[in-house]
Structure 1
Amino acid sequence: MSYPYTTPFNSNFANNPRSSDSTNDNLIKQLSENNSVYREKLIELRNKSDSLNAELFALRQRVTTVHNTSEIQTLSSKNEELQKLITSLNNSIEDKDRENDLLRKKVRDSDLTTTDLETAKVVLNRLQTKRSSLTLKYETLQKEFNQYKITKNEEMKKIMANVNYLQKMVE
């Protein structure tokens, strides 16, 4: 007996048409759970982004008052922490991408409706967009930090030259 929603490659579906519905229901449930996890991750990423933005604002505030090299070292360590955080976020996004790829394969194999597949694609696209956004923010932070470091080093050289000049004048 043949059912319109069976596949020739899955004998379980051919023998028991209800197992296809059950499998689809399980996959839809798993997709829903994963979507909840993704939403939580997105909220966490948004909070991290807000935190990074607040920290960037604080760093920008400090830039106007920084006048010594020890402050540059402190900012450098903060930059390293930010790099580690971005790396960690990218790794977690890559892990979720791998999980999503596996789910996509299961979705294709179980003949879920195109609407469910489109929903999964939308979630994937959102995660990839968020990842791109975080990468751009990180690159911007890195450029700003490097420019700040160059500017402060030049200022320190000028100050040291003035100090040396004044010492020579005193002698």
Structure 2
Amino acid sequence: MSGTGRTNARLIDIEFDESIGRSTPDIEHERAVAIFDLLEENSFQPAGDTGSGPYRLRLALADARLVFAISRETGEPVVTHILSLTPFRRIVKDYFLVCESYYEAIRTSTPSQIEAIDMGRRGLHNDGSQTLLDRLAGKIELDFDTARRVFTLICVLHWRG
């Protein structure tokens, strides 16, 4: 969904339901960076929406599911999608293990070792982003870079949950 006339197919606000709560400073930092990056540049539109964006997104957790409540800029509800977090558990767990290795490697390893771990970390992040794209197909249209940023939020929320 690149460029051509779809500038309103984007998110302008992300809000967290009280079900998500707060976490450690490191996790909160990751969340803030992901939200900032996501709002700076994204491509996001509910599939088949005949109205127009931009959109607001409210995220909530309910019974191991992530709730995407999408509304227009005015607050008018558009659609709510509920996404099971189960398909993400293994990849999020693996991603966090590799991230821990990466942060440890930064302190003690050679640049080539750090680069190898980082490549694995990025690969897992890409796998999670593709899983997200697949799970949202036919529900929400987003590009891969947007999926990467949303997957970062899922990681933070999954860790929290």
Give the TM-score normalised by the residue count of structure 2: 0.32
Higher Cα Rg: structure 1 or 2? Answer: 1
Greater strand content: 2
Give the TM-score normalised by the residue count of structure 1: 0.31
Greater helix content: 1
